[in-house]
């Protein structure tokens, strides 16, 4: 019995290695996401909110429209507007209509948002090292390449 089957208390074998790999990827991602949420909770944000702040920090002073932020998210969300609303209420993001095209609303990270990212940086590095650092650089590189291949072979059709 595989470790995954034991964790899931599965009594029958997986139908195929493909099914086991698929479930294993989903289970691992879910556990890492749960632990990341626990790590970020004291800072008052979720991993998805953190992802938006990182995206906006990278965009610089120009900021980005909602559709571009949504396209860059690690895990797409159905309602990016509501996510940005929440970050704006928290004072971490500021939004303004474009001067040329009033339909476009550009979001920018605020100084408060930048300060929060700075505050999270060291605890997040420690968290990442604790979660994956024991694998070693060679194994991590192999894992990255395998996951890259999975995404290459199964391109996302949503965005």
User: For the domain with range 3-153, which CATH number is right: 3.30.70.1230, 1.10.10.10, 3.40.50.410, 3.40.1260.10?
Assistant: 1.10.10.10
pLDDT number for residue 156: 67
Q: Where are the domains of the chain?
A: 3-153
pLDDT band at 157 (very low <50, low <70, confident <90, very high): low
pLDDT score of 158 more than 80: no
| Cβ(52)–Cβ(69) below 8 Å | yes
pLDDT score of 101 more than 90: no
Adjacency order of strands within the sheet including 64-65: 64-65, 105-109, 93-97
Within 8 A by CB and 6+ apart from 54, the residues are 117
């Amino acid at each position: 019995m595989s470790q995954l089957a034991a964790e899931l208390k599965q009594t029958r074998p997986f139908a195929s290695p493909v099914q086991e790999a698929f479930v294993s990827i989903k289970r691992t991602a879910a556990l890492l996401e749960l632990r990341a949420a626990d790590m970020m909770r004291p800072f008052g944000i979720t991993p998805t909110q953190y992802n938006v702040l990182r995206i906006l920090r990278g965009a610089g002073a120009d900021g980005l429209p909602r559709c571009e932020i949504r396209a860059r998210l690690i895990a797409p969300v159905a309602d990016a507007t509501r996510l940005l609303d929440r970050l704006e209420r928290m004072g971490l993001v500021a939004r303004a209509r474009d001067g040329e095209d009033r339909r476009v609303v550009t979001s920018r990270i605020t100084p408060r948002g930048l300060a929060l990212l700075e505050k999270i940086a060291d605890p997040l590095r420690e968290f990442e090292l604790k979660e994956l650092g024991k694998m070693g650089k060679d194994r991590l590189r192999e894992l990255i390449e395998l996951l890259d291949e999975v995404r290459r072979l199964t391109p996302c059709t949503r965005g």
